[in-house]
Chain A
Amino acid sequence: MGDIVLSLDRLSKRYGALLANKDVSLDLRKGEIHALIGPNGAGKSTLVKQVAGEIRPDGGSIMFDGQPINSLNTAARARAGLGRTFQVSSLIPEFSVLQNVMLAVQAQQGKTFRLFKRFSNDTELADQASGYIDELDLQGRADVPVSQLSHGERRQLEMATALALKPRALLLDEPLAGIGPAGSQHMTRLLKKLKQQVPILLIEHDMAAVFELADRISVMVYGRIITTGTAQEIKNNQQVQEAYLGQEAS
């Protein structure tokens, strides 16, 4: 299986008495969107944080691009090509859209420690950043400060910064949360386009979007993955119906 980009092997994480992740194994292949769904508190964000290096697993291993990355810190994993967005969007609040993306471009180039190269008129950074801003349909908003962006626009901006890192895998934690139906449709279209460039591990509660986007879906309940399959398989799975989908319908 040479096309596996990211592979998690029996990851476990405990918060006191709570087993937030138990023996979670999962992989992400080139060219796919692998969705991770599950009820609130199932442990999805906990998994992403372990992959991104923000929390240490109690057990299990993470392979990225054929290399174990357990021992790398968060920044090193990002440099290795793991891009991510957060469930609660996380941006530089006093920066403009352009500045946020420029910072990501500069990080990707690994040239942050240029102490005297002026940032604001660095056309090399700005040109590249503008490309990502256009790609995420934020053109015309480049100079707007983050504090004045709509929720949906923040999501788009987070995605633009993630892309600017030229990631080789993306971890998206609920990119559609709270952006309204129009925003959701827009973002779904963007994700479809993005999938051509980079494989995505997608956490999402919006089932319509998940069924439309995902090549494979894993279902997490109480910290365990109970099944993995195609959209059709998941829709027809009895266990999933009970554990999750049924719950929503009722």
Chain B
Amino acid sequence: MRRETWISFAFIVAGLLLVLVAWLGDEPFTITLATKVVILSLAGVGLNLALGHGGLVSLGHAAFFGLGGYAMGILASHAQNYEPLMIGSWAMEGTKSMPLIWLAAMLVAVLFALPIGVLSLRTSGVYFIMITLAFAQMIYYFAISWPAYGGEDGMSIYVRNSFPGLNTLDPIQFFVLCALILAICLILVDRLVKSRFGMALEAARQNPQRVTSLGIDTFRLQLTAFVISAAITGLAGALYADLNRFVSPSMLSWQVSGEIMIFVILGGVARFAGPLAGASVFIALEYFLGGLTEFWQFWLGLLLLVVILFARGGIIGVLAGERRHG
């Protein structure tokens, strides 16, 4: 455990140093790439809570990621077009303010995660995977066929949204903002999984019968974890859309669900820095190998296979030289 903590911090420091070098060397592209890693890690941190700690293998987290993206897209587009957003007969102003957009993104993710969780938590195992996937696909097809916000083509935002006191168009400033959010979420999730709640959640993953016989409702436990997990992934979605100044149904696609899951598994399921390591390696492979060959995903698949067969603890687990969650 000590060694894992050490490795995690070494990993984070190395990442920050890389960004520092890129900043000093005036390489905005590298900084943007690092920002992408940070945001995707955040999506993974969300899923890791449900999948790693709760044992809830959701193949539908793209729904929350995409909904977060659309929350940003819709609010910002109404703001930039000076059109009020009508919810029924109730008119709401759009906004370009990041904090408000983040709140909206998390709220929307929570509102969707509640019914999705209530329905899918009635099942487990492969059925849970399929139901979460099915919900995400429903939302995906809805987004494609909904013309008001770009339909299949998605929609662009002209200028990145604003944060008080920062110039978010400056890559390094946006990076720092995203990294801070990631840090806060990492710490909150870490506190959460080590709390009374987190231990009960962990116990329910290992032996739900036991936890129920202690008088704890495993359904409530897992639903809470699922909803918090969705909120974090939704927040990541809003940031991701802001990074690209673009949101489209592809953010909701099942490939995205799969990729978020790959971050978690590659980095190390239920590991503090697992999603970070997973997303970093994924993006590095995509960027470097993808530049060399179109078949970079083949090598990714091979790596994933090796991790699943020989190193269940993922990259972090291997580096920490221990085995857990066998």
- By a beta-carbon cutoff of 8 Å, the part of chain A in contact with chain B is 52, 54, 73-79, 84, 86, 90-95, 99, 102-104, 106-108, 111-120, 122, 125, 161, 165
Interface centre among B194, B195, B196, B216 (most CB of A within 10 A): B196
Is there an interface contact between B210 and A91, defined as CB atoms closer than 8 Å?
Answer: yes
Number of interface residues of B (CB under 8 A): 27
Asked if B81 is at the interface of the complex by the 8 Å CB criterion, the answer is no
Given contacts A76-B215, A78-B213, contact A103 B194 (CB under 8 A): no
The answer for the CA separation of A104 and B215 in the assembled complex, in Å, is: 9
For A122, give its contact among B196, B207, B213 (CB under 8 Å): B196
Asked if B5 is at the interface of the complex by the 8 Å CB criterion, the answer is no
Is there an interface contact between A52 and B213, defined as CB atoms closer than 8 Å?
Answer: yes
How far, in Å, is B1 (CB) from chain A's closest CB? Answer: 11
Stretch at the interface among B35-43, B128-136, B197-205: B197-205
Apart from A107-B211, A112-B216: 11 A-B pairs, beta carbons within 8 A? A74-B212, A74-B213, A75-B216, A75-B218, A78-B212, A78-B214, A79-B215, A94-B206, A103-B200, A103-B214, A117-B196
The answer for the CA separation of A54 and B214 in the assembled complex, in Å, is: 13
List, in ascending order, chain A residues with CB within 8 A of B324's CB.
Answer: 94
The answer for the CA separation of A31 and B196 in the assembled complex, in Å, is: 34
Is there an interface contact between A115 and B203, defined as CB atoms closer than 8 Å?
Answer: no
Is there an interface contact between B195 and A161, defined as CB atoms closer than 8 Å?
Answer: no
Q: Could you give 7 example pairs across A and B, Cβ below 8 Å?
A: A54-B209, A76-B215, A78-B214, A86-B213, A93-B207, A103-B200, A108-B214
Is there an interface contact between B215 and A113, defined as CB atoms closer than 8 Å?
Answer: no
Given contacts A103-B200, A113-B224, contact A119 B215 (CB under 8 A): no
Given contacts A75-B216, A107-B216, contact A115 B210 (CB under 8 A): no
Given contacts A92-B203, A93-B207, A106-B200, contact A114 B195 (CB under 8 A): yes
Asked if B217 is at the interface of the complex by the 8 Å CB criterion, the answer is yes
Interface centre among A74, A91, A102 (most CB of B within 10 A): A74
List, in ascending order, chain B residues with CB within 8 A of A93's CB.
Answer: 206-207
List, in ascending order, chain A residues with CB within 8 A of B224's CB.
Answer: 113
Is there an interface contact between B213 and A106, defined as CB atoms closer than 8 Å?
Answer: no
Is there an interface contact between A118 and B195, defined as CB atoms closer than 8 Å?
Answer: yes
The answer for the CA separation of A79 and B212 in the assembled complex, in Å, is: 10
Interface string of B203-244 (1 = CB under 8 A from A): 100110111111111101100100000000000000000000
Asked if B3 is at the interface of the complex by the 8 Å CB criterion, the answer is no
How far, in Å, is A156 (CB) from chain B's closest CB? Answer: 15
How far, in Å, is B215 (CB) from chain A's closest CB? Answer: 3
Is there an interface contact between A165 and B214, defined as CB atoms closer than 8 Å?
Answer: yes
The answer for the CA separation of A99 and B206 in the assembled complex, in Å, is: 13
How far, in Å, is B5 (CB) from chain A's closest CB? Answer: 14
Is there an interface contact between B207 and A108, defined as CB atoms closer than 8 Å?
Answer: no
The answer for the CA separation of A142 and B53 in the assembled complex, in Å, is: 23
Identify the closest chain A residue to B220 (Cβ).
A113
How far, in Å, is B64 (CB) from chain A's closest CB? Answer: 19
List, in ascending order, chain B residues with CB within 8 A of A108's CB.
Answer: 214-215
Identify the closest chain B residue to A90 (Cβ).
B210
How far, in Å, is A52 (CB) from chain B's closest CB? Answer: 7
How far, in Å, is B88 (CB) from chain A's closest CB? Answer: 33
Given contacts A106-B200, A114-B195, A115-B197, contact A75 B215 (CB under 8 A): yes
List, in ascending order, chain B residues with CB within 8 A of A74's CB.
Answer: 212-213
Given contacts A75-B212, A112-B216, contact A119 B207 (CB under 8 A): no
Is there an interface contact between B199 and A99, defined as CB atoms closer than 8 Å?
Answer: yes
Is there an interface contact between B210 and A92, defined as CB atoms closer than 8 Å?
Answer: yes
Asked if B192 is at the interface of the complex by the 8 Å CB criterion, the answer is yes
Identify the closest chain B residue to A114 (Cβ).
B196
How far, in Å, is A102 (CB) from chain B's closest CB? Answer: 8
Is there an interface contact between A112 and B221, defined as CB atoms closer than 8 Å?
Answer: yes
The answer for the CA separation of A84 and B197 in the assembled complex, in Å, is: 23
Is there an interface contact between A119 and B198, defined as CB atoms closer than 8 Å?
Answer: yes
The answer for the CA separation of A236 and B250 in the assembled complex, in Å, is: 77
The answer for the CA separation of A173 and B212 in the assembled complex, in Å, is: 17
The answer for the CA separation of A104 and B224 in the assembled complex, in Å, is: 20
